[in-house]
Chains A and B, each alone.
Chain A
Amino acid sequence: MKFAIVVFPGSNCDHDAYHATKHVLGQEAAFVWHKDTSLQGADVVILPGGFAHGDYLRTGAVARFSPIMPAVQRFAEAGGPVLGICNGFQVLLEAGLLPGAMLRNRSIRFQCEHVVVKVECTDTPFTSRCSPDQLLRIPIAHGEGNYYAEPEIVEQLEARRQVIFRYATASGAVTPEANPNGSVRNIAGLCNERRNVVGMMPHPERACELAIGSADGLLLLESAVHSVGQGTFVTTP
């Protein structure tokens, strides 16, 4: 199974994603430069965290026009699993592959800490190995992770069960106190209507080994391997 990790100028979690998929998970992984136009036959695409194009203008605003993005779009439209992490999530929002937008954190601070997220749905390629309501301890590191969408869009996301992760307390309560950035309804991650494209602000690739604090994030990457292996969420020609 092959993971493609898209590298934008300014991506800085690309190597973490490569390490997690290749060395920890033992799968095939390849870097794909943003100026390439092919995903090299990958089964799963990861848009990693960082500051693509310096985050100038808006986070992800320039990256969404990278030459690789039409290939990512086609891969997503064909049903392939795509995971956008942090800046990768912001790129997916700007590209319109996921609804909504990111605002500055409510605190105006860059928030870098471990948080707890609650798994809301397990029928996505990145949560298929999780249990419903499972709590995952995964770090966040962002200045603009304050998820916003028009109220009607938020209602639609809820009705279609597109909210995949919510910030929660250690005991699993979804409260304002557990919300690190002001995201509407404590949304930490969501998926598209077809459920194959997932965006999340927390960094699962940074939580794949107990030696660095948590291995909860590995479950998401294992889910991708499982889903592709099961034949769900694979690209259809």
Chain B
Amino acid sequence: MRARVFVTLKPSVFDPQGTIVTDALHTLGYDAVKNVRQGKYFELEIDAGSEEEARRLALEAADKLLANTVIESYRVEVESSTERSVP
């Protein structure tokens, strides 16, 4: 089973990297892009009996290691093997 974990800086935390990326996009003419927040994306291959168990493990991993909850928040999506799209 695959879990996707998205880690982003909390809205109240200044994101210097996102600011630089925003500036770069403006330099390229993408003035319509008003703001960029940079984050991290993880794909976890999990050996779990159910989607619920996979979700629980992914949430625990995110809370313990993948995110620093002082500055970051996280979101988990679980994709069961039957849902996986065929390339």
Binding site for B on A (CB under 8 A): 57-58, 61-62, 65, 93-94, 99-101, 103-108, 146, 148-150, 182
Contacts and interface: CB of A to CB of B under 8 A. Distances in A.
Interface in B1-41: 12-17, 20
A105 B19 CA distance: 12
B86 interface: no
Contacts of B16: 103-108, 146, 182
Interface of B: 12-17, 20, 65-66, 68, 70-71
Interface of A, helix, strand, loop or mixed by DSSP: loop
Contacts of A108: 16-17, 20
B34 to A, nearest CB: 20
B45 to A, nearest CB: 17
10 contacts: A58-B68, A93-B70, A99-B70, A101-B70, A103-B14, A103-B16, A103-B71, A105-B16, A108-B16, A150-B70
A61 B20 CA distance: 24
Contacts of A182: 14, 16
Q: Which of B14, B70, B71 has the most CB of A within 10 A?
A: B70
Contact of A61 (B12, B15, B68): B68
Nearest to A151: B12
Contacts of B70: 93, 99-101, 148-150
A132 to B, nearest CB: 30
A101 B20 contact: no
B14 to A, nearest CB: 7
B68 A103 contact: no
